Amino acid sequence: MNIRKKITVLASILLLIVISGCNTDSTMSANEPGSLPKYGNGNIGSFDLSQEEIDGLIHMRIEEKLARDVYLVFDSLYNYKVFYNISISEQTHMDAVKRLLVKYNIEDPLVTDEIGVFPDPQFQQLFDNYIIQGNISLQEALQTGVTIEEMDIADLENQLTNVVDNPDIIKVYQNLKRASENHLAAFSKCLQTNPVDVE
């Protein structure tokens, strides 16, 4: 079995673990380091990026941190494993986008990795609002996860459809979109199948 097939099989197994184990002791994620190919390291060639592509990478780097930080706060608040599992995946996504920033010599917008601190006031406001909503109950925290993943998917679809021509970035965004769809399914399943847990 070649490496690509092994990666595909491993990713499928890990996705089943995430979706079936909303609050299990498993810390595996559908996109835990090692389950997806490393992004931004391929020798596809040298491409000039448009300003819109550069802006998109900066936006996605911050947006992946937003998701990670919110889920880490909710994991600490509720000790509900789905948040921890997906926060690991979001860290992987942050790293994937950063590799592209480095490859194309774009300054990283994140000057600190501190949880809940963002360079963009709009992202700071989103974080604050999400934490307020998620503090109401576990159900609201899970619903916030749904909201974040839907936003992430919409932003990635917009980039893929209307902005990006660079093959390197397309590959990364396609992987991130697929992962966000998995996260959305996991949060939605937790809401639907654990009514006692989320009261």
DSSP-derived 3-state class of residue 94: helix
- Residue 32's pLDDT is 38
Q: Where are the domains of the chain?
A: 3-193
Select from 1.20.1260.10, 3.20.20.150, 1.10.10.10, 3.40.50.300 the CATH code of 3-193.
1.20.1260.10
Q: Is the pLDDT of residue 123 over 60?
A: yes
Q: Is the pLDDT of residue 126 over 80?
A: yes
Per-residue model confidence as pLDDT tens digits over 46-95: 458 999 999 999 999 999 999 999 999 999 999 999 999 999 999 999 99
Burial group, residue 163, by CB count within 10 angstroms (0-12, 13-18, 19+) = middle
Cβ atoms within 10 Å of 26's Cβ, excluding its own: 15
User: Alpha-carbon distance 199 to 196, whole Å?
Assistant: 6
Q: Please provide the distance, in angstroms rounded to a whole number, between the alpha carbons at the two ends of the chain.
A: 45
Closest residue by Cα to residue 97 from 175, 40, 27: 40
Cβ atoms within 10 Å of 24's Cβ, excluding its own: 13
Mean pLDDT value across the chain: 83
- Residue 135's pLDDT is 97
pTM of the model: 0.78
